[in-house]
Amino acid sequence: MNQQDTYKILAAFLVITMLGSVFAYIFIGNTDNNDSQSVTQTTNTDKYNPDFWTVNEPFNTISDSLSMTPPGAEVAYYMDLENMPIQMIQLVRQEIQIIQEVDTLYNSNTTKMYYAGIKDGNNNSFLLLSTMSIPKNDFEYVVIPNTNNILQRQDNGMINIMGYPIIYASDQTASEVLNILYGQNETNTSYDSYKDLLTKVEPAPYQILNSNVTFAKQFYIGLNLVNGSYERTTAYLDVNSTILRKLNQSKANSTEKGFEQYSINQTGNYTIVKIVSPELFQILNEETN
Q: Are residues 143 and 228 in the same domain?
A: no
What stretch of H or E contains 23?
Answer: helix 19-28
Residue 200 lies in a domain: no
Final residue in a domain of this structure, among 131, 159, 182: 182
Final residue in a domain of this structure, among 182, 201, 231: 182
> How high is the pLDDT of residue 113?
96
> How high is the pLDDT of residue 44?
59
Cβ proximity of 235 and 211 under 8 Å: no
> How high is the pLDDT of residue 187?
76
Q: Are residues 170 and 57 in the same domain?
A: yes
10 closest CA partner among 284, 289, 288? 284
Residue 73 lies in a domain: yes
pLDDT over 60 at 250, yes or no: yes
pLDDT grade for 230, boundaries at 50, 70 and 90: very high
pTM: 0.86
Residue 207 lies in a domain: no
> How high is the pLDDT of residue 43?
55
Cβ proximity of 202 and 222 under 8 Å: yes
- Reply yes or no: is the peptide bond before residue 165 cis, omega within 30 of 0: yes
Q: Are residues 25 and 148 in the same domain?
A: yes
Q: Are residues 142 and 60 in the same domain?
A: yes
Residue 201 lies in a domain: no
> How high is the pLDDT of residue 168?
97
Q: Are residues 121 and 218 in the same domain?
A: no
Q: Are residues 142 and 53 in the same domain?
A: yes
Residue 192 lies in a domain: no
Q: Are residues 177 and 225 in the same domain?
A: no
Residue 231 lies in a domain: yes
What CATH number does the domain containing 225 carry?
3.30.200
Query: What is the percent of the chain where pLDDT is above 90?
Result: 67
* Mean pLDDT score, 98-102: 90
Q: Are residues 129 and 258 in the same domain?
A: no
Cβ proximity of 52 and 138 under 8 Å: no
List pLDDT tens digits, range 131-151: 999 899 999 999 999 888 999
Cβ proximity of 194 and 218 under 8 Å: yes
* Mean pLDDT score, 80-104: 91
Helix (H, G, I), strand (E, B) or coil at 207: strand
234 closest CA partner among 253, 249, 247? 247
181-31-168 Cα angle (round to 5): 25
Residue 86 lies in a domain: yes
Q: Are residues 71 and 144 in the same domain?
A: yes
pLDDT grade for 82, boundaries at 50, 70 and 90: very high
153-180-109 Cα angle (round to 5): 45
Final residue in a domain of this structure, among 141, 160, 182: 182
Q: Are residues 175 and 225 in the same domain?
A: no
Domain count, the chain: 2
Containing domain of residue 259, as a range? 213-285
List pLDDT tens digits, range 22-43: 444 444 344 344 443 444 444 5
Q: Are residues 141 and 263 in the same domain?
A: no
> How high is the pLDDT of residue 8?
40
178-184-185 Cα angle (round to 5): 100
Q: Are residues 178 and 217 in the same domain?
A: no
Residue 248 lies in a domain: yes
* Mean pLDDT score, 219-227: 95
